[in-house]
Amino acid sequence: MIYRRLCCSAIALALGVLWDFIIGDPRGWYHPVMAIGRLISGLEKLLRRLFPPTKAGERTAGVLLVVLVAGCSTLIPGAALFVCYRIHPAAGIVLEGLMCGTLLAAKSLKTESMKVAEALEMEGLEAGRTAVSMIVGRDTGQLSETEVIKAAVETVAENTSDGIVAPMFFMALLGGAGGFFYKSINTMDSMVGYKNEAYRYFGTAAARLDDIVNFIPARLSAFLMICGCLFCGLDAKGALRIYRRDRYCHASPNSAQTESVMAGALQVQLAGDAWYFGVKHEKPLIGDDIRPAEQKDIERSGKLMYVTAILSAVLLIGIKLIFCNL
């Protein structure tokens, strides 16, 4: 029984990957991550009213937020899958495949990053700043053209792990519900995991858990990206060299894993100081300044992201199928 369920889940993941590559996120569809975001916002308001605004109170409220959001986000899709698989395996595969496809972000990441390149080329710097503001959290109003390009490339690099390999890893491990578990944690980190006055204590649990769940996927992503350079005509040796040197050049133990590979692969320098909500955050540079970043680098980063996604799918689905036959 368990082996048949594993096989069904492997098929569903393969269908989800194909869905993401071919269709992506259709415009007008209500994305489940939006529901997770609303749940986080609603619970934050409730928990802040219930607990005192002290260090201990906010940290306790933050822990409860993580438990409630991750629990609901996992149990609800898990229950839906259980019911569908009980009705018929085909129904379960279809629902799980749809879940997996919805939670992966390869096509949407490529589309949104290329909008930055197209805006810069067709309409100029101001349009490029506006386009990149849609995919990054930093202030973009004063970015130069090179900085806009680098911001887009960094987003592709980071989301190769956060938006593709990591959710795929948890789907391979725990099925569609595992993908929702991961996305709930990743979404909490993006909403409350800031080191500012408002979230210094409230967001601690979400930020720490995000570091934990991304530890293996971030390193797997980096390894697959280095391998992917061989298929993209990029600098695999440089990617490995910069990865080994700069993979911890971030406050987060995971963020620089893929950024360092991308910097080495493209032979450009990424990261550095950035402004968030009007506050300057000093960050070390990643990579060597062999050449300035250019618009084509956004397209190159997207190609490496896609190849990495394919390698990840082949590896993870293959491992899952091997377990089906044991």
Least confident piece of the model among 1-5, 6-10, 23-27: 1-5
Task: Give 279's strand partners.
Answer: 276
Residue 29 has what pLDDT?
Answer: 72
**Rounded to whole angstroms, how far apart are CA atoms 56 and 146?**
43
Q: Is 6 helix (H, G, I), strand (E, B) or coil?
A: helix
Two structure tokens written together for 255 = 């963020």
**Rounded to whole angstroms, how far apart are CA atoms 60 and 79?**
28
pLDDT band, very low/low/confident/very high, at 15 (cuts 50, 70, 90): very high
Residue 23 has what pLDDT?
Answer: 87
25-79: pLDDT as tens digits: 777 677 888 999 999 999 999 999 999 999 999 999 999 999 999 999 999 999 9
pTM of the model: 0.92
Q: Is the pLDDT of residue 133 over 90?
A: no
pLDDT band, very low/low/confident/very high, at 1 (cuts 50, 70, 90): low
Nearest to 140 by CA among 154, 153, 151: 151
Residue 124 has what pLDDT?
Answer: 86
Least confident piece of the model among 133-137, 162-166, 199-203: 133-137
How many C-alpha atoms does 158 have within 13 Å on its Cβ side? 20
List of residues 6+ apart from 18 with CB closer than 8 A: 101
Residue 257 has what pLDDT?
Answer: 94
List of residues 6+ apart from 101 with CB closer than 8 A: 15, 16, 17, 18, 19, 20, 23
Mean pLDDT (whole number) for 264-277: 82
Nearest to 104 by CA among 176, 167, 59: 167
304-324: pLDDT as tens digits: 999 999 999 999 999 988 887
- The per-residue DSSP string of 15-79 comes to HHHHHHHHT-S-TT---HHHHHHHHHHHHHHHHHHHS-SSHHHHHHHHHHHHHHHHHHHHHHHHH
**Rounded to whole angstroms, how far apart are CA atoms 250 and 281?**
11
Q: Is the pLDDT of residue 326 over 70?
A: no
pLDDT band, very low/low/confident/very high, at 273 (cuts 50, 70, 90): low
Q: Is the dihedral of CA 11, 310, 317, 256 positive or negative?
A: negative
Mean pLDDT (whole number) for 226-253: 92
284-298: pLDDT as tens digits: 889 998 999 999 999
Residue 86 has what pLDDT?
Answer: 92
